[in-house]
Amino acid sequence: MKVGMISFAHLHAESYASALKALPGVEFVGIYDEDNNRGKEWAEKLSVMHFEKLEDLLKTDIEAVIICSTNADHCRYTVAAAEAGKHVLVEKPIATNFADAHKMIETCKKQNVKLQIAFPVRYLPSVLETKRIVESGQLGRILAIKATNHGSMPGGWFTEKDKAGGGAVIDHTVHVVDIIRWMLGLEFKEIYAEYDRLIHNIETEDCGLLTMELTNNVFATLDTSWNRPSAYPTWGDVTMTIIGTNGVLELDGFSQKFDIYNNDVKKAQWEYFGGDMDYLLVKDFLEACKNNTPVKVTGEDGLKTLEVALAAYESGKRHQPVAIEEIRN
């Protein structure tokens, strides 16, 4: 299967590119990037073709594209690729507003191409095992969830509102919200959020704390802060504490690590050795394209997570909880 990539604006592009290079039966044809120099550099580094025009990439016989642009560009690239008949794997969040998200979903449906949102955390082996345990019923009825998706401040366009749609809240709400919906079959009803720019001199918020009401009488909190200092041993975390009537499960998604102390670096480092979720994500998406089976994470899934992030922003403005239904309309 032939695959192309559109934009290397998002840091995950490199990891998806290595998955494309490593996957048997996959031919990574080339790259288009709105930043011509960046596209050229990556194409050279990865020994693939460089396309100066998007239409030239979309004219080739590639069957699918991976889009790693800024969040605001997701829509125009997805629509262009879908209209050229290419399946789309697009980086999260699906978009920065509902209109774009709907347009992406509808266009892909109309063009009969697959649309998957890149939620790699679903492919993390520890997350899959957690899902298995929860589904086994051992925890009893689920009462509450405490989650974190901390990170370092990514810089660049991630901190520009018009390109990213927001800061730490939109960036780090969607992963865990997706996991909770998928793992527990719950939907989000009402969102309260505290967020602020407290650490970095940037345009957007860098700290966020969401308190959420879910279906089945379940409540949850999620810390989305970009508050890992540069001295921290790793980039961040994904953690969940799931409280059930019959037990408690604590997940630390990236705890399969060892510690490194190296005099050249002057800080402790954590070396992660768990499963490569980005590789598993790309592999699964391409298999769905090849076998014409449903993708694991649909555009609608992406939209549901965007609803939570946008409700959080509305809540932060009002200092009141905001019902998802209210902002959906």
Partner 1 sequence: MGSTHAEAYRVLDNAELVAVADLVPERAQAIAARTGATVRSATEIIADPSIDVIDVCVPTYLHRDFVVAAADAGKHVFCEKPMARSLKEAEEMKAACDKAGVRLGIGHVVRFFPEYIRAYNKVHSGVVGKVAVVRCTRGGFALPTAWKDWYANYEYSGGLVLDMIIHDFDYLRWLLGPVERVFAKGTRGRDYNRLEYALVSLKFKSGAIAHVEGSWVNSGGFHTRFEIAGEKGLIDYDSRKANPITLTVNKAGGAPGVPVPASAWAESPYTTEIRNFINVLDGKEGQIVDGNEGYESLKVALAALESIETGKPVNL
In a 3-state reduction of DSSP, which class is residue 154? coil
Among 22, 248, 260, 265, binds partner 1 (CB under 8 A): 248
Distance between CA atoms of residues 144 and 216, nearest Å: 10
DSSP letter for 147, please.
E
Q: 292, 291, 296, 287: which is closest to 24 by C-alpha?
A: 287
**274 φ, ψ (degrees, to nearest 5):** -75, -175
196 binds partner 1 (CB under 8 A): yes
Quick one: which segment of 38-46, 128-136, 242-250, 266-274 binds partner 1 (CB under 8 A)? Answer: 242-250
Q: Which long-range contacts (CB under 8 A, 24 or more apart) does 226-229 make?
A: 226/150, 226/151, 226/152, 226/153, 226/154, 226/167, 226/168, 226/171, 226/172, 226/199, 226/200, 227/150, 227/199, 228/150, 228/151, 228/152, 229/152
Question: Whole-number minimum distance, CB 326 to partner 1, in Å?
Answer: 14
Interaction with partner 1 in 309-328: which residues (CB under 8 A)?
319-321
Contacts of residue 328, defined as CB under 8 A and 6 or more positions apart, other chains included, come to 98, 307
229 binds partner 1 (CB under 8 A): yes
Quick one: which segment of 35-43, 54-62, 221-229, 284-292 binds partner 1 (CB under 8 A)? Answer: 221-229
Choice between 221 and 298, CB closer to partner 1 = 221
Among 15, 60, 111, 221, binds partner 1 (CB under 8 A): 221
Question: Whole-number minimum distance, CB 295 to partner 1, in Å?
Answer: 33
Tell me the two tokens of residue 19: 């998955």
Amino acid at 32: Y
245 binds partner 1 (CB under 8 A): yes
Question: Whole-number minimum distance, CB 273 to partner 1, in Å?
Answer: 20
Choice between 96 and 315, CB closer to partner 1 = 315
Quick one: which segment of 42-50, 127-135, 214-222, 257-265 binds partner 1 (CB under 8 A)? Answer: 214-222
Q: 250, 220, 248: which is closest to 238 by C-alpha?
A: 250
Among 33, 63, 178, 206, binds partner 1 (CB under 8 A): 206
Question: Whole-number minimum distance, CB 211 to partner 1, in Å?
Answer: 5
Question: Whole-number minimum distance, CB 44 to partner 1, in Å?
Answer: 38
The DSSP bridge pattern shows strands 87-91 and 64-67 to be: parallel
Interaction with partner 1 in 156-195: which residues (CB under 8 A)?
190, 192, 194-195
Question: Whole-number minimum distance, CB 145 to partner 1, in Å?
Answer: 9
Tell me the two tokens of residue 38: 């960046």
In a 3-state reduction of DSSP, which class is residue 162? helix
Q: 49, 59, 58: which is closest to 78 by C-alpha?
A: 58
Among 99, 198, 260, 265, binds partner 1 (CB under 8 A): 198
Choice between 78 and 239, CB closer to partner 1 = 239
220 binds partner 1 (CB under 8 A): yes
> What are the helix (H) ranges across 122-205?
125-136, 161-164, 168-184
228 binds partner 1 (CB under 8 A): yes
Q: Give the per-residue contact string, 127-156, with partner 1 (x = CB under 8 A; - = no).
A: ----------------xx-x-x--------
Among 43, 108, 115, 209, binds partner 1 (CB under 8 A): 209
Distance between CA atoms of residues 1 and 29, nearest Å: 10
Distance between CA atoms of residues 171 and 225, nearest Å: 9
Q: 144, 96, 104, 98: which is closest to 250 by C-alpha?
A: 144
**Contact positions vs partner 1 (CB under 8 A):** 143-144, 146, 148, 190, 192, 194-196, 198-199, 206-207, 209, 211, 213, 217, 219-221, 223, 225, 227-229, 231-232, 241, 243, 245, 248, 250, 319-321
